[in-house]
Chain A
């Protein structure tokens, strides 16, 4: 049996459920949006998930996890969800079956400047980047980049990349209150490479905004997304980095400048692949389910 851990209000969750349903494989779910329904018990070497339709007896042979994100500051939501996720993470640390992806391996994109170092270390070109809380440093960087700079969050807390425009000079004085990441602006097409085990899905995206997510999510614009190809060595590096980090699935973002320069921006350990496959028609969900099924273990210490 395959176990899904996540949020029923997330786009990935229902797509995976539908695909699992089509595949005919048995599965169970832990819907973290209803965290109070579940409890995780340690029973010798076994971990038993009980609650909802989980009775703690059925062997779990592979796990897909994409934790819910609390989109509220309401403690009545956050506290039980955090407690359940902490219990699940502890279980996943000891789970003897395949896990896509283990949370303990999925922290690297918390710090984007740190992750850029990882991307550079495997041979990718990366944009010139500055993280600072000093206004003068930001201004110097902007000038050295000939006034073509974007800024965005330094962590993985949701924020859109924005081009530095005239009206932003005034805001630079706020930097001492919160460090910010500045990057040379590489104009061009976006690529998202999804890695699933040894498989790669390359999607090319075009949008009017510098951050295509803003075009699609905030501005409600249509973006163009289509299957594409990138050189073999790029794909090989994507697979290598994903595996080096201890991940099975990853989503790596690139920008391709008009002169052909390809820069890596970040690796997302919990990519929202449904956003891409819904537009490009690539069968990423199917590949993930196939991977889960093909890596099912004979003996497991997780029961649901």
Chain B
């Protein structure tokens, strides 16, 4: 069984449900609020054993039974204002810390297996992803290293921007999928970096990303978006991303073309 978590208007999730339905795969969905407020769970661990379960729609699922998890959490959830503010803060962190441990303990593919920096809204997290990726594919980061600095208190998911100097490519389930405007030479160059991408994905847990490259003044990595919004992307691109992710989760099964 595959578990998807996020909002029902997320375009990638809708595509994943369509493809899963066509392939008659079992997929359960939970909204972010449902996941954090009412999904019952238990995680038990000792020195040599970890086990646990989730209750989805009244049914108890052993954590080992999940084939994959798709996390599209906008991180918009906040505890009820029935708690006073101090308790809201406490409940929020207890909930996030618990879910991080639970998801970390699951051995199935998780897209994305975000690091604690993401869960904690660390503004340096996307910068660290970018730095590590640039190192892996042997490209410099944007000379103005602060040009992609999230402003405000946290980093919100972004959609691809429109700029003549920027080319974007999606990496999903081990495949490179060029966004409109991405040149063949960039795709050809990155196609040679398969092992480097795989190592970066293994290290960071980011199996779905959009990578923006800056062309002005030489090719360099401008940004890595670990939660790419796909609402404005062409149908075939979104479908290709969803297909690649499902193929990565269930590699031995065909995903319909």
Given contact pairs A104-B122, A128-B46, A132-B41, A114 touches B91 in the complex (Cβ within 8 A)? no
Would A103 and B41 count as touching, CB distance under 8 A? no
Would A120 and B47 count as touching, CB distance under 8 A? yes
Would A111 and B90 count as touching, CB distance under 8 A? no
Q: How far is the CA of A275 from the CA of B42 in the complex (A)?
A: 35
**26 interchain pairs (CB within 8 A)?**
A42-B146, A73-B86, A86-B123, A89-B124, A93-B124, A93-B127, A104-B125, A108-B116, A110-B119, A111-B116, A112-B97, A113-B45, A113-B102, A114-B97, A128-B45, A130-B42, A134-B55, A153-B90, A153-B94, A153-B97, A154-B97, A156-B93, A157-B93, A157-B94, A178-B91, A178-B95
- Among A107, A112, A176, A181, the residue within 8 A (CB) of B122 is A107
Residues of chain A having any CB pair with chain B under 8 Å: 42, 73, 82, 86, 89-90, 92-94, 103-104, 107-108, 110-114, 116-117, 120, 124-134, 137, 141, 153-157, 159, 176-181
Q: How far is the CA of A26 from the CA of B104 in the complex (A)?
A: 43
Tell me, yes or no, whether B43 is within 8 Å of chain A by CB.
Answer: yes
* Chain B residues with CB under 8 A of A159: 90
- The B interface, classified by DSSP as helix, strand, loop or mixed, is helix
* Chain A residues with CB under 8 A of B50: 117
Q: How far is the CA of A42 from the CA of B128 in the complex (A)?
A: 17
Q: How far is the CB of B123 from chain A (nearest CB, A)?
A: 5
Tell me, yes or no, whether B101 is within 8 Å of chain A by CB.
Answer: yes
Q: How far is the CA of A266 from the CA of B48 in the complex (A)?
A: 17
User: What residue of chain B has the Cβ atom nearest to residue A120's Cβ?
Assistant: B47
* Chain A residues with CB under 8 A of B47: 120, 124-126
Q: How far is the CA of A23 from the CA of B43 in the complex (A)?
A: 48
Would B116 and A157 count as touching, CB distance under 8 A? no
Tell me, yes or no, whether B251 is within 8 Å of chain A by CB.
Answer: no
**Residue interface bits B205-240, CB-to-A below 8 A is 1, else 0:** 000000000000000000000000000000000000
Q: How far is the CA of A129 from the CA of B48 in the complex (A)?
A: 12
Q: How far is the CB of A285 from chain B (nearest CB, A)?
A: 27
User: What residue of chain A has the Cβ atom nearest to residue B87's Cβ?
Assistant: A178
- Among B45, B86, B94, the residue within 8 A (CB) of A117 is B45
User: What residue of chain A has the Cβ atom nearest to residue B88's Cβ?
Assistant: A73
Would A129 and B102 count as touching, CB distance under 8 A? no
Given contact pairs A90-B146, A113-B45, A155 touches B128 in the complex (Cβ within 8 A)? no
* Chain B residues with CB under 8 A of A132: 40-43
Q: How far is the CB of B151 from chain A (nearest CB, A)?
A: 10
Would A93 and B93 count as touching, CB distance under 8 A? no
Tell me, yes or no, whether B89 is within 8 Å of chain A by CB.
Answer: yes
Q: How far is the CB of A67 from chain B (nearest CB, A)?
A: 12
Q: How far is the CB of B87 from chain A (nearest CB, A)?
A: 8
* Chain A residues with CB under 8 A of B156: none
Would A114 and B101 count as touching, CB distance under 8 A? yes
Would A117 and B42 count as touching, CB distance under 8 A? no
Would A180 and B94 count as touching, CB distance under 8 A? yes
Would B45 and A116 count as touching, CB distance under 8 A? yes
Q: How far is the CA of A181 from the CA of B146 in the complex (A)?
A: 39
Q: How far is the CB of B142 from chain A (nearest CB, A)?
A: 12
Q: How far is the CA of A3 from the CA of B223 in the complex (A)?
A: 30
* Chain B residues with CB under 8 A of A120: 45-48
Q: How far is the CA of A12 from the CA of B61 in the complex (A)?
A: 46
* Chain B residues with CB under 8 A of A157: 89-90, 93-94
* Chain B residues with CB under 8 A of A141: 44
* Chain A residues with CB under 8 A of B124: 86, 89-90, 92-93, 103-104
